[in-house]
Amino acid sequence: MLRAARLAAIATWVLLCNAHGADRTFDFTTNAVNQIPFGWRAFLAGEGKPGDWKVILEDVPPTLAPISPNAPNITKQAVVSQTASDITDERFPILIFDGEKYGEFTFNVRFKIVGGAVEQIGGVVFRVQDEKNFYVVRASSLGGNLRFYKFVDGKRQPASGPSLEIPKGIWHTLSIEGSGNRFRVRLNGKDAIPDITDNSFPTGKVGFMTKSDSQVLFVDPRIVYKPIQSLASSMVRTAMEKNPRILNLRIYGRTGDNPDFRVLASSRAADVGQLATKTEQDVMARNVPFLGKEKEEVRITYPLHDRNGETIGAVKFTLRSFKGQTEVNALARVAPIVKEMNQQIGAANDLTE
């Protein structure tokens, strides 16, 4: 039950694929209070002590005005807070959703700055590459401004943005739209910064940030986005289009630090996520192809290699057999496809990029 609840709390995402893309809404209500939300990861940019990110219960007004005058104007809601108060100047506590990366997206969140003696700053990070490379849009109550800047190799670049009154203690809505190398920023539903163009980071993760001793609450994060097709998915699609005799195609690899090999991409969506069987594991361990026959089908599994020749995964073909089929000509049919795939792989994580 606990694991089910935590999995649901991957910030309880709702994914609705449609002609316009996908829609992911994060809901922290299934997370344990006073714990970092499941599926999110905290890190510190700059100097000082790490942030104190956790889920708390807070009175939050509805996003839309109540239909009935008798409806409550305030409800108790699970929000994410950063309340550590280290006054180090170049201190940027950051919390990112450690799931997929986004390229084309619109990311919305409500935030409330609740404290800070030296700074009162809260905002979002996006197209996060790692702990040293990402974009930032943040609002300052004490400074009365909204700023866009980026971190490159851990160094904060010059900021741009207008002077704006951003009162402490009330909820504001910040929206970032990323389209190619162009970004649009809205605060409380209004365009707040002239469109920004920058080519540094084409895709990346999203999250929240504060500065110095700022204490900030975040709620109702939502991202509408165009899903990014991974290299593994692209290779499956291309091979299936070029080779009509392939009945099914699977690519196996690892995700993140998970030691298990799984199906990363397949021409059959239901296969994705399945663990590699002993056959695929043997192919990768021994670095030799394997062929098996069943009725009118031939199954061929080849190891996949990175640019250094290291085995980093496997590809499994299911082919329609034909009269006179031999092991030699079956392997020869798929060898050029495997060669083309290997030429596209630089490192193991390229498969999931």
- In this structure, the answer to whether residues 188 and 306 fall within a common structural domain is no
- Domain end residue (candidates: 225, 244, 277): 225
Residue with tokens 């970032």: 176
Q: Pick from 172, 195, 225: which residue ends a domain?
A: 225
Q: Which of 249, 228, 227 is nearest to 298 (CA)?
A: 249
pTM: 0.68
Question: In terms of domains, do 258 and 339 share one?
Answer: yes
DSSP class of residue 349? G
Residue 130: give its domain's CATH number: 2.60.120.560
Question: Digits of tens for pLDDT over the chain (353 positions)?
Answer: 444 444 344 334 344 444 447 888 898 998 899 999 988 999 999 999 999 999 999 999 987 655 555 556 788 999 999 989 899 999 999 999 987 789 999 999 999 999 999 999 999 999 999 999 999 999 999 999 999 999 999 999 999 999 999 999 999 999 999 999 999 999 999 999 999 999 999 999 999 999 999 999 999 999 999 888 888 989 999 999 999 889 999 999 997 767 899 998 899 988 888 999 999 999 999 999 999 988 789 999 999 999 999 999 999 999 988 877 788 888 999 999 999 999 999 988 889 87
26 with 98, same domain?
Answer: yes
Check if the beta carbon of residue 23 is closer than 8 Å to that of residue 16.
yes
The verdict on 156 and 275 lying in the same domain is no
Q: Which CATH number covers residue 335? A: 3.30.450.40
Q: From CA 262, how far away is CA 252, in angstroms rounded?
A: 5
Cα 241 to Cα 244: distance, rounded to the nearest angstrom: 7
Helix (H, G, I), strand (E, B) or coil at 338: helix
Which residue reads 């069943």 in tokens? 294
Domain boundary among the residues 225, 241, 271 is at 225
Residue 244, domain extent: 231-352
Q: How far is CA 319 from CA 58, 107, 324, in A?
A: 57, 43, 14
As a whole number of angstroms, the distance between CA 272 and CA 322 comes to 28
Query: Do 190 and 146 contact (CB within 8 A), yes or no?
Result: no
Number of domains in the chain: 2
